[in-house]
Structure 1
Amino acid sequence: QVIKCKAAVLWELNKPFSIEEVEVAPPKAHEVRIKTKEYVQYNPSETKKNLCGGSAVKNLPANTGNVEESVLSSSPGDKVIPLFIPQCGKCNVCKHPEANLCLKFQLKEPRGTLNDGTCRFTCRGKPIHHFLGTSTFTQYTVVDEMSVAKIHADSPLEKVCLIGCGFSTGYGSAVKIAKVTQGSTCAVFGLGGVGLSVIMGCKAAGAARIIAVDINKDKFARAKQVGATECINPQDYEKPIEEVLKEVSGGGVDFSFEVIGRLDTMMSALLCCQEAYGVSVIVGVPPHAQNISMNPMLLLTGRTWKGAIFGGFKSKESVPKLVTDFMAKKFSLDQLITHVLPLEKINEGFDLLRSGMSVRTILTF
């Protein structure tokens, strides 16, 4: 049956969300309709262009939503987390042991639909597009079976929702993509929710020094709480930040992470790495339709420049394992959650995020 429920709908780019009543069609074959319980927003310093008017929201009107959320399955009662990167298990990428960018993923060419090319939302008689196959600013949503992961029945939804995107992206960038080593020195550019998660991953991997870099000094205390050993504000120096980092690390850091999405900081993160063996990972989403120029000698000497989405984790199989690790107290998520708001205050939540006053905001339903 069709379900009528409350949802936040984005009718125009760069405009506030509107709370509407939407109609949610029943799932088709290989789809799941789920009831949303809690939801966490992106940090705008990392990915605001995707939610507030960028390339990932090009089909409007759209029932847009982040993928960092915890939900309760509407039929069997299972707790699940929707996945913005699906895992079909059949394509060449899914079969590759080190890759996770399933060929069903819609980020490069978002269609605003489920896998069969159609939508499940209607509002005011108009079809409402899906956001990256999830759409979770709504009391009910429909996702493809390959885009949902069942999690531990006792997991606290208000915390493990972070594992749906931001935490896993940062944590995995350190432990899985960079493969941070025991006793190493790391530099993390950008101290939003994902950047803090990178720091947590570096600490878990045994890094001896974790240098946090940001122009907002208000973020330094929290960065140290999650594992940073020192914090640097580039505005405090007259020389480029990469030179500062090379000096304080004795020639260059072992691992660096760009978690902002700026071309200039991507270059700084690469340049601050030890030229013979440093590894730099791009985590932040870069500006749309912009390119970066670099001298190939920066890599020929031995540096490695890498990138990955969702921390390189295969979504459907890795998310349940990460939730289990959380339940086993292998990491904490408390320091990443700063605000809790009802769905009706969604626009206030985005204001908090844009102002830098929050790390992660949970929306409740």
Structure 2
Amino acid sequence: MEQGKLFTETSNKVITCRAAIAWTTNAPLSIEKVEVDPPKAGEVRIKIISSGICGTDKHILEGKDKVPLPAILGHEGAGIVESIGEGVTSVKPGDKVLMFPLPECRECSSCLHPTGNFCLKESILPPTGLMLDGTSRFTCRGRKIYHLYGTSTFTEYTVVHEIAVGKIDDDAPMDTVCILSCEVPTGFGAVFNIAKVTPGSTCVVFGLGGIGSAVIMACKASGASRIIGVDIKEEKFPRARALGVTDCLNPQKLKKPVQEVVVEMTGKGADFAFEAIGLIDTMVATLESCHPSYGVAVIIGLAPTNSQLIFDPTLLLSGRTLKGGALGNYKTRSCIPKMVTDYLQKKINIDPLITHKLPFESINKAFELLQGGHCIRCVLFLRPR
């Protein structure tokens, strides 16, 4: 097999390839030649085939979410194992894999807990930009480049810890399954695992982007009878309605706060509310949109760095519940590869969540589409040279 021969030739060597570098915030990404070191013990080097662009990547470029720069962003990736470091046993060269921004070490108190999933070896809160040994595997122009959440998928090759890699089916379509690294489990899990949406319920979703769209699909699958979508970009409304939204609200065109409108529309408030934007104001609005006695609010979006969530505590005294979760509370390595199998067996359909597919060279155009509200999720195709 030619690919196997290629991997044998590159094993234990530095690989020079293309990557999109974020040198600073509020500037386009720069496609550069980078050197990617071989994997160390417990690490896996992966040839990226496709990568999704998440709203969190946009927030980082806007300077809202602080991460060490310069960095290679991206955390929704599907690829093929090129080489493995000492001690790696769960994957081998040639395996198709997903890589996860939230690892599963299967040793810490979170991983060992029956419902916990926020592995204590994560690099999200706060983001270190480095591998577990405190170093980087990327070099550009003689300068070390930071990782993002231990993944970094805006590159033709990346190095990831084995604890953040999951082997998937050999026949998985690599142009699609990358969104199962973040978008799909985050949205589906918020509904199925965290909120536990019930049939006949009323839901409100703040943010109709990629994560919010996955939430909508899961709410509909759970039997919600009414789904209210909230977003300031009305370009998203037709697609949201196609996915299951029954009512669309643009807060900028309302005469009163959107949470008050939601309460009026529902009588006393929604049964379940989801925040998929990552802004403090919408987090408070999400909580205030819930029924005072039994409403459940779920925070999904990553808030700007150093922000504080402030609200009237009596909102909880009456019985509301405020919850949060990362990657939908799924234990990533254990659960998400099974979602790929479910997709292949047509038990779930994730195709409607991808609206654009572009070559890697068009990454800045993809961010423009996302910023303009024309894109729910764009998948980039990477072709290593």
Amino acid at match of 1:5: C
Q: What SS does structure 1 have at the residue aligned with 2:159?
A: strand
Amino acid at match of 1:67: H
Q: CA deviation at 1:232?
A: 2.2
In structure 2, what is the equivalent of residue 48 of structure 1?
A: 58
Cα deviation, 1:290-341, whole Å, max 9, x if unaligned, reads 2132221110110001111111111111111111121122222222212222
Q: CA deviation at 1:95?
A: 0.7
Separation in 2, partners of 1:29, 1:22: 22
**TM-score normalised by structure 2 residue count:** 0.90
Cα deviation, 1:31-86, whole Å, max 9, x if unaligned, reads 1111011111113xx6522344344422x22222x221211112421110111101
The correspondence for 1:176, drawn from 193, 196, 221, is 193
TM superposition outliers: structure 1 runs of 4+ over 4 Å: none
In structure 2, what is the equivalent of residue 72 of structure 1?
A: 80
In structure 2, what is the equivalent of residue 244 of structure 1?
A: 261
Structure-2 change in CA distance of 1:55 and 1:235 (3 Å) = closer
In structure 2, what is the equivalent of residue 203 of structure 1?
A: 220
In structure 2, what is the equivalent of residue 274 of structure 1?
A: 291
Cα deviation, 1:239-278, whole Å, max 9, x if unaligned, reads 2222221122121110001111122211111111110100
Separation in 2, partners of 1:78, 1:11: 32
Unaligned ranges ≥5, structure 2: 1-12, 84-92
The correspondence for 1:355, drawn from 372, 375, 385, is 372
Separation in 2, partners of 1:84, 1:26: 20
The correspondence for 2:331, drawn from 300, 306, 314, is 314
Aligned residues: 361
Cα deviation, 1:142-181, whole Å, max 9, x if unaligned, reads 1110011111111111111111111211111111110111
Unaligned ranges ≥5, structure 1: none
Matched, 1:190 2:198: no
The correspondence for 1:301, drawn from 311, 318, 331, is 318
In structure 1, what is the equivalent of residue 32 of structure 2?
A: 20
Q: What SS does structure 2 have at the residue aligned with 1:218?
A: helix
Separation in 2, partners of 1:334, 1:2: 36
The correspondence for 2:309, drawn from 267, 288, 292, is 292
The correspondence for 2:20, drawn from 8, 14, 21, is 8
Separation in 2, partners of 1:10, 1:243: 40
- Aligned 8 A contact 2:58 2:367 in 1: no
Cα deviation, 1:203-260, whole Å, max 9, x if unaligned, reads 1212111111122222111111112122222334312222221122121110001111
Amino acid at match of 1:63: I
Separation in 2, partners of 1:259, 1:305: 14
Amino acid at match of 2:33: E
**TM-score normalised by structure 1 residue count:** 0.95
Of 252-261 and 341-350, more deviation after overlay is shown by 341-350
The correspondence for 1:129, drawn from 124, 146, 164, is 146
In structure 2, what is the equivalent of residue 332 of structure 1?
A: 349
Give the superposed CA RMSD: 1.5
- Aligned 8 A contact 2:65 2:304 in 1: no
Identity of counterpart residues, as a percentage? 50
Of 302-311 and 291-300, more deviation after overlay is shown by 291-300
The correspondence for 1:94, drawn from 111, 128, 150, is 111
Amino acid at match of 2:15: I
- Aligned 8 A contact 2:168 2:337 in 1: yes
- Aligned 8 A contact 2:25 2:60 in 1: no
Separation in 2, partners of 1:69, 1:356: 22
Matched, 1:115 2:132: yes
